[in-house]
Amino acid sequence: MIAADACRTMGHRTLGAVREGLEGDILRYLNKSPENQAAGDNPRSRLGAILTPQILCLVLYRLSHWLFVAGYRSLAVVLSRFNQLVHRVTLPPQSCIGPGCFLPHPAGVAFLGRAGRGLTLYSLSVCGPNRPWLPEGPVEDGPNLGDDVTVGALAGVAGPITVGSSTKVAFGVNIDRDTPAGVMVVSTAMRAARTRGEQQPESRR
């Protein structure tokens, strides 16, 4: 209930919010590789992007989120489960993900929580409560991620924690505590992300 009210306040019940989210997702996809950049941003390349599993699963998620916030929760859950069945990705409709999301390999990805712009979730990454959970669970039990957060393959972010913007969680790493912005989490170590090619001092958790 709380999550839906917050998203309603931010205008997520409008189709304009769906369009903004998808436009960010598509542009992120088109700019992710040299091949996609060479194709350019045009109606043909956008249509091709929408037909890929990476974008199509986000189309279904954003429509389900819009339905959830607008009050059509049963229909939202049906669409979300269809998305899970077809793409093997768990993106519950109560989750709130900003524009520019990128899922290189959607299969096995699960996310129940909140995230800002530019979220990247690699294969088999899981973000959600720090206990066994169902897709219909409350979003408040999951993490709150800032902008431009990357969660590596087989990595996990568990519990109602806050992960700062521009944080990168490495392959196979699991975190269950608040993480500041601009760091890379590698095993039990947390170090500042590289800036202009220079390694910043390392700090231990």
Question: For residue 205, what pLDDT is reported?
Answer: 42
Number of domains in the chain: 1
Identify the segments of the chain with pLDDT beneath 70. Answer: 1-6, 8-13, 33, 35, 38, 188-205
Predicted pLDDT at 192: 60
pLDDT at 172: 94
Q: What is the pTM of this model?
A: 0.84
Residue 10: predicted pLDDT: 62
Point out which residues pair with 203 in neighbouring strands.
190
Q: What range defines the domain where residue 10 resides?
A: 2-204
- Per-residue buried b or exposed e for 117-153, using 16+ beta carbons within 10 Å of the residue's own CB: bbbbbbebbbbbbbeebebebebbbbbbbbbbbbbbb
Tell me the CATH number at 167. 2.160.10.10
